[in-house]
Amino acid sequence: GRSAVNAAAADSRIDCVLSLAGSNFTSEARKLSTPTFFIAGGADMMVMASMWVKPAYKNCTGPAVYACLKGAIHTTCCLNPDAYIDYILAWFDGWLKGDSADLAVFQNGGALSRDRDWKDFATKGF
């Protein structure tokens, strides 16, 4: 997650970012204007949402979404990718293919904001 944010901040060829449990410093996130989906795990003790992921979301300058998967630990993305995959695919299809229906998933009132498996949904810049 951290590498994705820093790569996008440094390279204009990157069109959108997925930051999965990224431990970005706010100074790094401030350089990011690329659309970014910040995902955190509610039980992740390695990269705590409130310490790293949510502040990075708040400090990036481009369109962004933040959501925290309830009960997820740092390796949930590897152990249970089904919990993430539909939203990740919608994010990339929305930004890379220009699919407005997929982007609507991330707006206030969209599917992610209503999904009870996720908490602390936030969006900006849409």
Does pLDDT of 41 surpass 90?
yes
C-beta separation of 36 from 5 below 8 A: yes
Query: Which of 56-60, 79-83, 87-91, 109-113 is least confident?
Result: 79-83
pLDDT for the residue numbered 13: 97
pLDDT tens by residue, 4-36: 999 999 999 999 999 999 888 889 999 999 999
Percent of the chain with pLDDT over 90: 90
**Cβ-based neighbours of 66, under 8 Å, separated by 6 or more:** 38, 40, 53, 54, 57, 120, 121, 122, 123
Sheet of 118-124, strands arranged across:
17-20, 36-41, 64-69, 118-124
* pLDDT-based confidence at residue 78 (cuts at 50, 70, 90): confident
pLDDT for the residue numbered 126: 81
Taking residues 84-104, what's their average pLDDT?
Answer: 97
Does pLDDT of 1 surpass 90?
no
Read off the DSSP letter of residue 34. Answer: S
pLDDT averaged over the chain?
Answer: 95
